[in-house]
Amino acid sequence: MPPRKKPRSAAAVAATGGQNPAQYLTSFLQYLEVECGMSANTLSAYRSDLVQFFTWYATQRTVRVADVDLKLLTGYLQHLNERQLAPTTVSRHLVAIKMFFRYLVLEGILLQNVVDLLNSPKLWQYLPTVLSPDMVDKLLAAPQGEFDRYPRRDRALLSLLYATGCRASEVSDLTLSDLHLDENFARCVGKGNKERIVSLNPLTVAAIQTYLEQERPELAQFRDADWLFMSRSGGGLSRISIWRLVKRYAARVGASQRVSPHTLRHSFATHLLAGGADIRAVQELLGHASISTTQIYTQVEHSRLKAVHRACHPRG
């Protein structure tokens, strides 16, 4: 990427301000990758969100990037809300747009960023979907040899998701060298390329060992690959494939349609707090940079707080 340009004159900005913002998408994504060090998954999400914005923007009878104002952006947020998207999803779209227009100001394409004046939707109403321990047990036992081609792989996958609270992308990236089954832990790399150690319980270790001994050799017979979870073609199991597997087994056991790999991460955190785990410890186990991200689970786990009140309050 070329070095950052000096700020341009108002006349020069006015000239470029008449252009379509969509034409700056490629250079913006390059900026995020090279200068901000964002991951491929984050870049993909930004691209998807911005393409949706540009598609809607093209219907607004204007192509001038300088014409973006609060009225237009408020209209887009209303459009997203009409699609009944979750508040977190709407906020993610807004973050992508804010970053994009900050980049345009940074590059001297715009003089000011009106998007920063727009507030994110309130997120306090959002509570993650969490499975009960009984439903988790049913989900983890769902893969069966009579119905599924690789039940041992899928059982090991589901067990690892719940045992570690890892994201689907983190599990997709796991390799054999990341596993330390003798010591009951694995090494994973999360957002921002931050490495952390996750614990493996005995049931998960046993499930992984069974998969490694009985199914993985067949999956790896035509390819010398180091991926832990492999597809039938011999490649690594993608996060989309993991998502589909979780959805399939969730439907089989009658779980909510909203269940996804992230539901097991939410359940992992909530069940830890219900068992008395310290929130700081849960933050480290999840790989959250901020404790505020972890605190959402304290709103989900009401039973533990009620039990503490009953046990400790004089009139509990």
Return the active site residues.
Answer: 167, 191, 262, 265, 288, 297
Tokens for 121, please give them.
């939707």
Residues 6+ away with beta carbon under 8 Å from 152: 143, 207, 210, 211, 214, 215
Using alpha carbons only, what angle is made at residue 53 by residues 39 and 33, rounded to the nearest 5 degrees?
20
Identify the three-state secondary structure at position 99: helix
Residue 224 makes CB contacts below 8 A (sequence gap 6+) with none
d(CA 64, CA 296): 40
Angle between helices 151-164 and 133-140 (to 10 degrees): 150
- Cα distance between residue 13 and residue 209, in whole Å: 61
Task: From 291, 306, 300, select the one nearest 270 (Cα to Cα).
Answer: 300
The C-alpha atoms of residue 268 and residue 129 are separated, in whole angstroms, by 11
The closest alpha carbon to 296, from 77, 88, 139, belongs to: 88
Q: How far apart are CA 181 and CA 199, in angstroms?
A: 10
Q: How many helical (H) and strand (E) elements, i.e. helices and strands, does the chain have?
A: 16, 3
Contact 283, 165 (CB under 8 A): no
